[in-house]
Amino acid sequence: MTLIHAENVNLALPEGARRLHLYGELRQTRNGKALAVRGPFITVFENPKDRVLFSAERDCNPFFHLMESLWMLAGRHDVAFPSIFNSNIAQYSDDGIRFSGAYGYRWRKWFDIDQIDAAILRLATDHETRRVVVQMYDARNDIKIEEHGGLDIPCNLAITFQVWRTEDSPPKLDMTVFNRSNDLIWGAYGANVVHMTMLQQLIAEAIDVEVGEY
């Protein structure tokens, strides 16, 4: 198991890359050969709101990540809107019109329930609950997509939330994201950290607590 504690994504990236090169093994993936670390690779961000990665090598587009996050929070899955900010994103859609694995659509519409609203209601009425789960992976659908060679299957599987409090600090909302597989630079520390922490901040503000760890 690999565990990294970092204040923010900018401090996590060099340490994550160091661990990957130190412990990673070269493996074949659907996108070619890549270094992979065996077992869970866990990163704890202590200040999730410090979410923009400033790396010349990664060269993130913060405007695209911001607009994509808002697109997710709106529960959309159309290709057209995010393509305004990143024309390459359309290649990950199976039909060029929509993304079946779009996180926001799965948060808000896919399961015939708005999981974000449900999470806010549950956490607002019970700060002690540990049963709040927001799901992205759907075995009923995604296994079939995989069998037919589909491109768009969620890498991030589920999210759990918990309000954490201590005697000497105000309550804070911690969030844990479970992931089947992810690219350290492009996904986990590039785009996903923006998407997920904006969701965390939205829910934290809705239930009137501070943002905790991610």
Residues classed as catalytic: 155
Length of the chain: 214
Strand segments, DSSP code E, in the chain are 2-6, 25-29, 32-36, 41-45, 132-135, 156-166, 169-179, 210-211
Question: Which tokens is 62 given?
Answer: 């913060």
Measuring CA to CA, which residue among 156, 143, 144, 150 is closest to residue 30? Answer: 150
- In angstroms, the CA 208 to CA 214 distance is 17
Report yes or no: 164 and 212 within 8 Å, Cβ to Cβ: yes
- In angstroms, the CA 100 to CA 86 distance is 18
H-helix segments, 53-156: 62-73, 80-83, 103-105, 115-125, 139-147
